[in-house]
C-alpha cells in the first residue's frame, strides 16, 4: 500500500512494485485523507497490506512556515494514524522523511545517529512524523533529499520552464548543498531495503553532492543551452522558510545494507532527462 501515490516518489514506487510482480494499491488525497484516523483504520483494515509506504506529505516548505499546524497535522500526527493502523494489520510501516530534519551546520555528511535539529516548520513537522513512525512495531524510516521524478513539478522542470520561456540568465543559490535524488532510483532502493528486512533509520540518496547552483548548471548544459547561471545567496530570495546550508546525507549504512551505493546524481539526472524527453 502506497499513500501519496500521485506524487513523484509515490508514482515511482507503484511502478517499481508492479514491475517486481508485487500486488500494490495506491492512495492519494482524493481516495484517502491520512489525517482522518477513522478512514486510515478502515482502509488499512480492509486492505491488510504487508507493507505500508507513506509518501503523502505537505512538502511546500515556505507554505509550511506560514501554516505550521496544518503541516504538522499532515506530516506528523497523520503518521501516528498510519502507525496504529499498521500495527493492527501486522504491516511494516515505511516512512519517508527528509534531510531538513537537520540544521545544516555540520562540517560533514549527516549519519543516521546524528541528533535532528530542524530550523524550519517543514523540518519540525517531518521530525514529528519520524517520531510517530517509530511508534509502529515494525518500521523503516528513510531520509532522502532534493527529489526529482516524473509526474510532478521539481527543480529540473522549473529550470527547463525558465529556459523555454526565454530567460536571458538564471540566478540560483550557491550556498546550499545536498544530494539530488532520482525517484526511480530511490524507489528501487526502498523495495530492496524492504526485501532485505532493513529496520530503523536509513539515509537513501543518490551518490555525490552539489549546490542548487551546481545542479542548475548541469541541467542547463545537458539541455544544450548556453544561458548563464549566476550564483546568488539564499538571503537574496526572501523565502519564508530557512534552509539548511549543508544537508548532505551519508549513505555508508545504505551501502552496507545493499552492498552498493546508488548511482551518481549526474548519471541519474541524465537518465531522467532522457526519459522525460522520450515521453
Question: Which one is catalytic: 100, 110, 122, 182?
Answer: 122
Q: H/E element holding 96?
A: strand 92-98
Locate the domains of the chain by residue range: 2-153+181-207+248-263
Closest CA to 78 of 118, 43, 120, 119: 43
- Report the pLDDT value the prediction gives residue 105, as an integer from 0 to 100: 97
- Report the pLDDT value the prediction gives residue 214, as an integer from 0 to 100: 98
Length of the chain equals 279
Residue numbers of the chain with a pLDDT score lower than 70: 277-279
- Report the pLDDT value the prediction gives residue 152, as an integer from 0 to 100: 84
- Report the pLDDT value the prediction gives residue 277, as an integer from 0 to 100: 65
Three cell numbers written together for 250: 551519508
Alpha-carbon distance of 271 to 111, in angstroms, equals 28
pLDDT tens digits, 93-150: 999 999 999 999 999 999 999 999 999 999 999 999 999 999 999 999 999 999 999 9
Instruction: Indicate if 110 belongs to the active site.
Output: no
2-153+181-207+248-263, superfamily in CATH?
NAD(P)-binding Rossmann-like Domain (3.40.50.720)
Looking up cell 530492496 gives 192
In sequence order, the 6+-apart residues with CB closer than 8 A to the CB of 113 are: none
R_g of the chain computed on alpha carbons? 18
Amino acid at each position: 500500500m502506497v499513500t501519496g501515490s500521485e506524487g513523484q516518489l509515490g508514482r515511482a514506487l507503484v511502478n517499481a512494485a508492479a514491475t517486481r510482480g508485487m500486488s500494490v494499491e495506491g492512495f492519494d488525497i482524493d481516495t484517502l485523507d491520512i489525517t482522518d484516523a477513522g478512514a486510515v483504520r478502515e482502509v488499512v483494515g480492509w486492505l491488510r497490506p504487508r507493507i505500508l509506504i507513506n509518501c503523502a506529505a505537505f512538502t511546500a516548505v515556505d507554505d509550511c512556515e506560514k501554516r505550521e499546524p496544518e503541516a504538522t497535522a499532515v506530516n506528523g500526527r497523520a503518521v501516528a494514524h498510519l502507525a496504529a493502523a499498521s500495527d493492527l494489520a501486522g504491516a511494516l510501516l515505511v516512512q519517508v522523511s527528509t534531510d531538513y530534519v537537520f540544521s545544516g551546520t555540520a562540517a560533514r555528511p549527516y549519519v543516521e545517529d546524528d541528533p535532528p535539529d530542524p530550523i524550519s516548520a517543514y523540518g519540525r513537522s517531518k521530525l514529528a512524523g519520524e517520531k510517530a513512525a517509530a511508534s509502529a512495531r515494525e518500521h523503516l524510516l528513510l531520509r532522502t533529499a532534493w527529489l526529482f521524478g516524473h509526474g510532478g513539478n521539481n527543480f529540473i522542470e522549473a529550470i527547463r520552464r525558465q529556459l523555454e520561456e526565454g530567460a536571458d540568465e538564471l540566478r540560483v543559490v550557491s550556498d546550499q548543498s545536498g544530494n539530488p535524488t532520482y525517484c526511480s532510483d530511490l524507489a528501487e532502493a526502498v523495495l530492496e531495503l524492504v526485501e532485505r528486512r532493513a529496520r530503523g533509520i536509513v539515509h537513501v540518496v543518490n551518490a555525490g553532492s552539489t549546490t542548487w547552483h551546481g545542479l542548475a548548471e548541469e541541467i542547463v548544459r545537458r539541455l544544450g543551452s548556453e544561458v548563464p547561471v549566476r550564483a546568488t545567496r539564499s538571503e537574496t530570495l526572501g523565502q519564508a522558510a530557512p534552509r539548511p546550508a549543508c544537508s548532505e546525507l551519508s549513505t555508508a549504512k545504505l551501502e552496507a545494507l545493499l552492498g552498493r551505493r546508488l548511482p551518481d546524481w549526474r548519471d541519474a539526472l541524465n537518465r531522467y532527462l532522457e526519459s522525460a524527453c522520450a515521453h
